[in-house]
Amino acid sequence: MDSMAPLPAATLRVSPSRGWIHASLGLSLIFLFLPWQGWGLWIRPDITALLLIYWGIFEPAEMGAGKAFLLGMLSDVAQSHVLGIHALTYSALFVLVQYYRPRILSFYRLNQMLHVLMLLLLTQWLEGLVNGVLGYAWPNWSWWVIQPLLGALGWPFLPRLLERAPRPAAPPQSP
């Protein structure tokens, strides 16, 4: 095959629609409105942060720090948190995702899970630090570890779920 020949259209990846990206982020915010109580609060992974990582890695043109900030504000409203804590953490998360994006893309899905765990731990710790500075009760050790760990364990399944999204037809290949 000639190295200058165009790739077949079947090998080109078509981006999901903007509506699918926004719908998935909206569903993650609806997930926050569920009546979580007791141990459910401790084991609930931050789906919004996971989606922010996923779309920040695979569709960076559709995401941005402004959308991350807006998602954080909506998460604060949904969880009745102090306005701006999730906005700060999601904005920092998005910056870190963009910084580590080439590195994360160079690994297989299971190896990416370690990077996602690091990003989720940093996000959780930043949120805990801000809550501590504001004078709220300091969470116990399980809050710091369990939610990010469960989120990272869900990472290999998230791309499989989101890659089944309805996509626009591939552009026709020129002769």
Q: Is the pTM of this model over 0.75?
A: yes
Contacts of 25 (CB under 8 A, 6+ apart): 48, 51, 52, 55, 71
Q: Looking at the predicted structure, is the pLDDT value of residue 70 above 50?
A: yes
Residue 174, in any domain of the structure: no
pLDDT of residue 91 exceeding 90, the answer is yes
Question: Could you list the residue range(s) of the whole structural domain that residue 42 is in?
Answer: 15-162
Q: Assess if residue 9 is contained within a domain.
A: no
* CATH code where residue 61 lies: 1.10.1760
Q: What does the longest C-alpha to C-alpha distance in the chain come to?
A: 66
Between vectors from CA 7 to CA 3 and to CA 12, what angle results, nearest 5°?
140
How many domains does the chain contain in total?
1
* Mean pLDDT, residues 130-146: 84
Residue 4 included in any domain: no
Q: What mean pLDDT comes out for the span 162-175?
A: 67
